[in-house]
């Protein structure tokens, strides 16, 4: 009897252990399934994250390329601007020089005209004051005009 009780107890123990083992296996399986689902979700998130990271890297490369192109365009425009600025300075100097030359020429022409006017006045006075024949006066006027034309030509 004691043996029987012991055997019953042992069997009862084994059945209890079997139930516990079965329950542990079920719970372990549930945990494994849950962990697999969580792992699958995490792998999906990692894949999405990798995809977004690659897209961001591609966009960054495109932006860096655009920035490089814009920088090259800016450098070219800056060089062109410098060339145009230098050209403008050169043209300003040329205009200033031409203005000075024109002013000098104007002064010379003005002086020649004043001198010519004075000479003509003197000639007229002398023509009026001479009592010599008209042909002599014509020769003298021609000489004076020739001298005046020579003076003007020399000044030019």
Cα separation, 66 vs 73, whole angstroms: 10
**What pLDDT was estimated at residue 30?**
92
- Average pLDDT of every residue of the chain: 86
Cα separation, 90 vs 86, whole angstroms: 6
Q: What is the residue extent of each domain of the chain?
A: 2-155
Question: What one-character-per-residue DSSP string does 42-61 give?
Answer: HHHHHHHHHHHHHHHHHHHH
**Which conformational region is residue 68 in: left (phi greater than 0), alpha (psi within -120 to 50 degrees), or beta?**
alpha
Q: What are the b/e assignments for 83-109, b being 16+ CB within 10 Å?
A: eeeeeeeeeeeeeeeeeeeeeeeeeee
Instruction: Summarize the confidence of residues 128-142 as an average pLDDT.
Output: 65
**What pLDDT was estimated at residue 4?**
64
pLDDT digits (tens, 9 = 90+) for 97-110: 999 999 999 888 88
Instruction: Summarize the confidence of residues 77-102 as an average pLDDT.
Output: 96
Considering only residues 132 and 156, tell me which one the structure prediction assigns the higher pLDDT. 156
**What pLDDT was estimated at residue 11?**
75
pLDDT digits (tens, 9 = 90+) for 22-56: 998 999 999 999 999 999 999 999 999 999 999 99
CA-nearest of 143, 113, 112 to 126 is 143
Cα separation, 101 vs 107, whole angstroms: 10
In sequence order, what E strands does the chain have? none
**What pLDDT was estimated at residue 140?**
73
- In this prediction the pTM is 0.47
Element (H or E) spanning 156, and its range? none
Cα separation, 127 vs 138, whole angstroms: 9
84 Cα distance to chain centroid? 14
Considering only residues 152 and 29, tell me which one the structure prediction assigns the higher pLDDT. 29
Instruction: Summarize the confidence of residues 122-133 as an average pLDDT.
Output: 67
**What pLDDT was estimated at residue 44?**
96
């Amino acid at each position: 009897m004691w043996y029987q009780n012991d055997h019953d107890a042992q069997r009862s123990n084994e059945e209890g252990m079997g139930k516990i083992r079965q329950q542990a296996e079920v719970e372990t399986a549930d945990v494994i399934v849950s962990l697999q689902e969580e792992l699958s979700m995490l792998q999906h998130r990692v894949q999405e994250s990798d995809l977004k990271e690659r897209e961001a890297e591609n966009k960054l490369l495109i932006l860096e390329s655009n920035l490089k192109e814009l920088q090259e365009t800016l450098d070219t425009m800056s060089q062109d601007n410098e060339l145009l600025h230098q050209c403008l300075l050169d043209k300003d100097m040329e205009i200033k020089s031409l203005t000075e030359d024109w002013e000098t020429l104007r002064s010379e022409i003005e002086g020649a005209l004043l001198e010519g006017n004075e000479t003509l006045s003197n000639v007229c006075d002398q023509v009026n004051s001479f009592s010599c024949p008209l042909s002599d006066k014509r020769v003298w006027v021609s000489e004076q005009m020739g001298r005046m034309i020579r003076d003007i030509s020399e000044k030019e």
